[in-house]
Every structure is written in C-alpha cells, then in structure tokens.
Structure 1
C-alpha cells in the first residue's frame, strides 16, 4: 500500500469492540431511565392570619379594570374568580365563584373574610355572597385556599358606585295625566344618566367629569359617548324593543358603574271623555265602548295617548256612521254630537288620528245611544 493510502486509512481508525459496547449500554440507560418530579415546596407563610391582614405582601395580578368596580390581588397558584355583577353597585348582592386548574377546590379548605373578619370556612366553599355598602364605601373581601401544603390567596377591593337611567318619551299625554308618557314606534326617547360616584376623600364626583360609554343593542355609540355625555337621544325603530346599556367610569378607572334599560314601544291609544260646560273635561272617567246621550247634545274630547307628533300637527278625521263629520271649530280633538227631536237609535262615532311623516295611525270608536 502506498503512502497516500496509508494516510487515508489513518483518518478512520478501527473502533474497539469494547468502546462500542459501552456506548450502546449508556444509550439504553439514558433512554429507559424513569423520570422523577420534585413535589412543591411547603409554604412558609403563617396561615393563622387572614390574607387581608397581609395584603401588602400580595402581588396584584392586574390593575383596576375600566369595566369593573373592583381591584383583584392574587398570590399562589392560579385561581380564577368570576364576580357577578362585574360592576357592583351600592347596596348590591355580589357573588364570587372560584375555579382552578391548579388546585382541587373540592378537596381544599376555603376561608372567606370581609374587612379582616372571618365569615365562613370549610371544605369546597367555592361560592361566596356578600352585600356592598353605600356608594364610596370600599370593602375588602379576601379568600384563603389551602390544599395540603399549597396555599393560594386572593383579595378583592370593591369600590361601589351607582348610575341610574331615567328615560322620557316625546309622545303626547294630557297635561293632567300623572303617569309616564308611553313610548310609541318612531318616537324619540331621551335617556339621562344620574351617576353616584364618591371619591376616597368622601366627596361626590361631578357628573361632567365622568366618562360615559353608550351602547344600543350591543353596538357602541361612539359619537354619543365621551366625557360628560350623560344624555342620549334615540329614535325608536318600528315596534321592536331596544336595549340601551351605559358604562360610566372615573377618568383613572378606579371607579366604574354600569346599567341598562330595555325600551318597549307600544301602539298609541285613543280615549274619549265627556266635556262638561262648567266642569271642563271629565278626565276621571273615560268613555266607551258605549255612551248614552242623555241631553240634546254633548261635546266629546279625545286624547291620543302616546301619539308622536314630531313637531307637526296631527291629522284628525271624524266619521259618524261612516260619513265625514264636521270637526269642532276650536280644536280638532273635540266633536259635538246632537240628536234629532223624538229620535231614537244608535250611531257609530269613529276617529282616525295620524302622523303622516311617521306613518303612524291610531283608531278609536264609540257607540253613541240616544233617545233611550
């Protein structure tokens, strides 16, 4: 063999059989060796004190949410808390439900505290209900979860705030009517928010300093939301109900509240009343469906409850037994009915009130008996 062949052969020396066998045995040992897990180290925390007394040692898992009126602080294995309602108001019942994929809550001892006072303790106490105080009075709700040597803690700092919603429909009702004007299809409804936000110092926050987010049927009304925008005007579309939700927060997000209302439009209703020459309209008793004409003549008034005028006059059309009747000279919602001498019988008095621009019409009918 020449020198060149010797050099090439020297690069690949023959491996020892013993070395190959040792490598093979080492590979088998590493492949089939059992895996071991280290158990969690026991907690060194003292458990004789409620977590709310040691809240300074806890680490906040999140900052105050802009949608919630509470701050949540946690320590230990992950435990999920569902709070209902998400924005607790003043003097409101609140429920906390715990869930965890790290701890067997059904086998854990759970203790609940309110402002440092233990309220309840026992196995699998995953649900807790408490009641908030008045607006501006914060409270601390704490929970300790012990599962063997594992301890998890949570603290909820609840800052209750309130917002009321008041609505007003731009529909017609008589001046003497003490009820609320009903919502009719096509009418405009004005909603006003009345917030009750109290700072930590005890002062009431001005409504103009708060941020308002309006939603209609779960769609945010961006152009009508913002700082100080505490009123909302909406037009009812058809006869379908509308859900309006409002979220209010202080600029920093430390305080927040929410509320919602459901607006249900109804059809306008015509009511007939007798007009007395001295006493005026007898609103204490509506007529119908039958009216007995006991004198030679009577003036009747009609009131279209819930009719929406949209700034233009309503159209009144009176019929007597299907024939056009002459409207009252002073007011279109008045009509005078007379009986002929010695005549007896019945007549059907009908009225149609309409708003042409809104395609809204309401019908009314009264059977007038005379000579009986």
Structure 2
C-alpha cells in the first residue's frame, strides 16, 4: 500500500502534464484557423487595390505620357478597364486588357484627373470592382535672360549680350512645388557648371568675351524630389553695341515716341539738336563713353555737359546738297568696345 501511494505521488504530475498537452492539441486547430482567416483577410485587402502611375510623372507641353493601372491580385490581360479623364469616359481606350493609356500633354500648368474602374477576378476566384484616381500636372519650363548692358529708359526690349558683358538667365519651372524643392543643373555650351548645381538655383550668370556673331548655348535641367525631370535649352547670340542718332526739340531729351531717321532736311540758317543714344554698351550711363562728332569731314564738339548731344546750325550761306553727320562712341573702360553711326543732312 505504501508502495502504491509512493508511485501515485509521482504519477499525478505526469497525468497533469499529459492533460495540458492534450488540451493544447485540441485548441491548436482553432488557432491555425484564426491565422488562416487573418491571411485570407490580408489577401482580400491586397485584392481590393489597384494603383495608377504616370510616366513621366511630370510631362512637358505637347509631350506624350502613359498612365498605367497595376495590381498584384489579378491578371491584367483578363480584366476589363474603363478609363476617364477629367470626368469624361474614354470608350476607345477602354476594354479587356487595356491596362494603360497614352495621352498628349496640353499647355503647362494643365491638370489631368485620370480615373480607372477595373472589373476583375482575383487569384481566389472572387470578382472584384476596383478603382483608383491620379492627377497629372503638365510641367512647364521657361528661360528668360538679359545682359547688364545699357539701354535708354524708353527702350522696351531686352538688353542684349555684347563682348565683355554679363548675362543673367532665370529658369521659371512649373512642377507644382516650390523652387526650394527643385534641383537645378545648369550647362553652358553643353558643359555642366558645377557651382550652379543645387536646390533653388533658379538663376545662372556668365560673362562672355566671344566675337560678335558668336552664340552661347545655355541649358537647365530641373528635377523634383521624386526624380521627375524637365529641361530646356536656348542659344544667346553676341551682338555689337550700337549708336542711334535721334532728333530732339530739347537739347538732352529723347522723346518717348522718337523714331530714328536716316536723313534730316534743313534750310540755310536752321538749327537742329541731335542726340547719340548708346545701346548694349557695358556701361551704366552714357557719360562713360567718349563721343567724336564730325560734319562733312569737319570735327564738331558736343555739348560740354552732354557730349553725346550736338547742336548743328546750317550757315546762311551754306550750299545746297547732302552732307554726312557722323559720331563714334567709345567705352572709356573697354577700349575695343565702340560703335559708329551717321545720318544724312540735306540742305535745301
């Protein structure tokens, strides 16, 4: 009896362990089923998603871009796709297996709201109706430039590039984000300019000493944070500085609507004020130039306070005929920068 009690004392813990194992084994199928149910729910979540993407992300004006629908849970070739752009259906682009469409971008800044409705059977044999939307904005990139050359106040054009002048170029990008989030890469004559690469580098400048008639090619690439890139290039031509002679009733003022003439007709005893106006010199004021005037081969002096102005008086006994009035302007700080001009003076 004592031996049986002793054996029973060791047997009871073993029976308790066995009962626990048996209870766990009975509950295991329920746990496995719960896990399988969760996996099934995940599959359903994946099946319920279709994603649209555009390539390139930011198309440029008049370029083509592709919008594609993708999913990991159905066969695109057997699915039916119905496409919409800005709310309008595209029946010619819709149908079975039509998982992408190709569009042509309009003007910069245009938004395309693209939607797709997909009817498909997923890998588990479940029929699904899925949809997604994406907005594609047409990117734009314009380049503007000007040179630090002189033009008069009433000049409405752009200061042009001449030898020794500095040219400033500005890139105006329309990519739906601040320029602070755009990477600018500048090229001059197809060579990358390292110091001008960086975020928010909208402006670029260079100085050119090329000959008149030469061109410099400027290019910029603009990339957003997602890697979408647009680019634009242009050529800037070197011109010669110019002098244009105007007539003015006031000794040192060019009328706002003044038009240059190649010939002025005067009578004996008449007087005329003529102003030599510089264009595209590397100066800030006309006073930085010297002016050499001559009439019919005889040198004339300009006004003391305004050497670019000359007052011409036709003598009473002047002979009738046509004479040449010429002027040559020279940059005091750039000896090789000069420009001549002339007009005809006809005495009747």
When the two structures are superposed, what TM-score results if normalisation uses the length of structure 1? 0.58
C-alpha deviation, 1:240, in angstroms? 1.2
Q: SS in structure 1 opposite 2:145?
A: strand
Is residue 159–residue 255 contact of structure 1 (8 Å, CA) maintained in 2? no
Matched, 1:348 2:314: no
Which residue of 2 is the match for residue 95 of structure 1?
Answer: 64
Is residue 69–residue 257 contact of structure 1 (8 Å, CA) maintained in 2? no
Which residue of 2 is the match for residue 262 of structure 1?
Answer: 235
Superposition pairs of residues 164-175 of structure 1, within 5 angstroms: 164-175=142-153
* 2:183 pairs with one of 201, 207, 211: 211
CA deviation profile, 1:104-136 (whole Å, cap 9, x unmatched):
xxxxxxx996669556469xxxx9552257648
Q: SS in structure 1 opposite 2:259?
A: coil
Matched, 1:288 2:261: yes
Instruction: Give the number of the structure whose residues are more often helix, by fraction.
Output: 2
Q: SS in structure 2 opposite 1:342?
A: coil
Which residue of 2 is the match for residue 74 of structure 1?
Answer: none
Separation (CA, whole Å) in 2 of partners of 1:93 and 1:190: 28
Matched, 1:242 2:216: yes
Superposition pairs of residues 60-71 of structure 1, within 5 angstroms: 69-70=56-57
Q: SS in structure 1 opposite 2:288?
A: coil
Separation (CA, whole Å) in 1 of partners of 2:215 and 2:115: 38
Separation (CA, whole Å) in 2 of partners of 1:348 and 1:279: 22
**RMSD of the alignment, in Å?**
4.1
- Greater gyration radius: 2
Is residue 270–residue 304 contact of structure 1 (8 Å, CA) maintained in 2? yes
Q: SS in structure 2 opposite 1:281?
A: coil
Q: Where do 5+ consecutive residues of structure 1 fail to align?
A: 1-52, 71-86, 98-110, 143-155, 199-204
Q: SS in structure 2 opposite 1:223?
A: helix
Q: SS in structure 1 opposite 2:245?
A: strand
Separation (CA, whole Å) in 2 of partners of 1:112 and 1:317: 77
Which residue of 1 is the match for residue 74 of structure 2?
Answer: none
Separation (CA, whole Å) in 1 of partners of 2:290 and 2:91: 67
Q: SS in structure 2 opposite 1:348?
A: strand
Is residue 197–residue 255 contact of structure 1 (8 Å, CA) maintained in 2? no
Superposition pairs of residues 47-66 of structure 1, within 5 angstroms: 56=51
Separation (CA, whole Å) in 2 of partners of 1:178 and 1:334: 22
Q: SS in structure 2 opposite 1:317?
A: strand
C-alpha deviation, 1:137, in angstroms? 4.1
Please identify, of 163-172 and 326-335, the stretch whose mean Cα deviation from structure 2 is larger: 163-172
* 2:295 pairs with one of 294, 312, 320: 320
CA deviation profile, 1:147-194 (whole Å, cap 9, x unmatched):
xxxxxxxxx995533332221221222111222223333322111222
Aligned length: 263
Matched, 1:332 2:307: yes
Matched, 1:233 2:202: no
Which residue of 2 is the match for residue 220 of structure 1?
Answer: 192
Q: 1:170 to 1:323 in 2, by over 3 A?
A: same
C-alpha deviation, 1:88, in angstroms? 2.2
Q: SS in structure 2 opposite 1:243?
A: strand
Matched, 1:361 2:338: yes
Q: 1:197 to 1:121 in 2, by over 3 A?
A: closer
Is residue 243–residue 341 contact of structure 2 (8 Å, CA) maintained in 1? yes
Which residue of 2 is the match for residue 79 of structure 1?
Answer: none
Separation (CA, whole Å) in 2 of partners of 1:185 and 1:209: 35
Separation (CA, whole Å) in 1 of partners of 2:343 and 2:193: 45
Separation (CA, whole Å) in 1 of partners of 2:161 and 2:288: 19
When the two structures are superposed, what TM-score results if normalisation uses the length of structure 2? 0.62
Is residue 108–residue 174 contact of structure 2 (8 Å, CA) maintained in 1? no
Q: SS in structure 2 opposite 1:208?
A: helix
Q: Where do 5+ consecutive residues of structure 2 fail to align?
A: 1-47, 67-80, 95-100, 117-133
Separation (CA, whole Å) in 1 of partners of 2:335 and 2:231: 33
Is residue 174–residue 303 contact of structure 1 (8 Å, CA) maintained in 2? yes
